[in-house]
Amino acid sequence: MMIFMAISIGHGKKTNKIIGGEMALTPVPYIVSLRDSNMAHKCGGAILDEYHIITAAHCVFYIDRSPKEINQIFFTVGTNIDIVVNQDELYQSSSAFIPMNFEPKSVPSAQYDIAIFKLMRPIKFNANVQPVDLPTQDVIENTRVVLSGWGSQSCSLYSSIFLKKVELTITTKSLCQFYQHVSFNDDSSGLFCTAHHLGACPSFGDSGGPLVDGNTIIGIVSSGLPQYIGSPSFNCKVFDYLRWIDQIRKFTPPKIGCGGGPNPLFRL
197 as an active site residue: the answer is: no
d(CA 53, CA 119): 8
11 as an active site residue: the answer is: no
Catalytic-role residue among 207, 222, 223, 233: 207
Catalytic-role residue among 33, 41, 95, 113: 113
Surface-to-core class of residue 142, CB atoms within 10 Å of its CB (0-12 exposed, 13-18 middle, 19+ buried) = exposed
Using DSSP, state whether 187 is helix, strand or coil: helix
- Dihedral sign for Cα 99, 105, 109, 113, please: positive
Catalytic-role residue among 58, 148, 196, 203: 58
What ranges make up the beta strands (E) of 136-229?
A: 144-149, 164-170, 191-195, 210-213, 216-223
d(CA 220, CA 115): 10
Q: Residue 218: which residues within 8 A CB-CB, separation 6 or more?
A: 135, 139, 143, 145, 170, 211, 212, 237, 238, 239
Using DSSP, state whether 220 is helix, strand or coil: strand
Give the residue among 145, 73, 61, 141 at the shortest CA–CA distance from 106.
61
Element (H, E) at 266: strand 265-267
d(CA 94, CA 120): 5
58 as an active site residue: the answer is: yes
CB of 152 closer than 8 Å to CB of 161? no
d(CA 129, CA 32): 9
Residues serving a catalytic function are 58, 113, 207
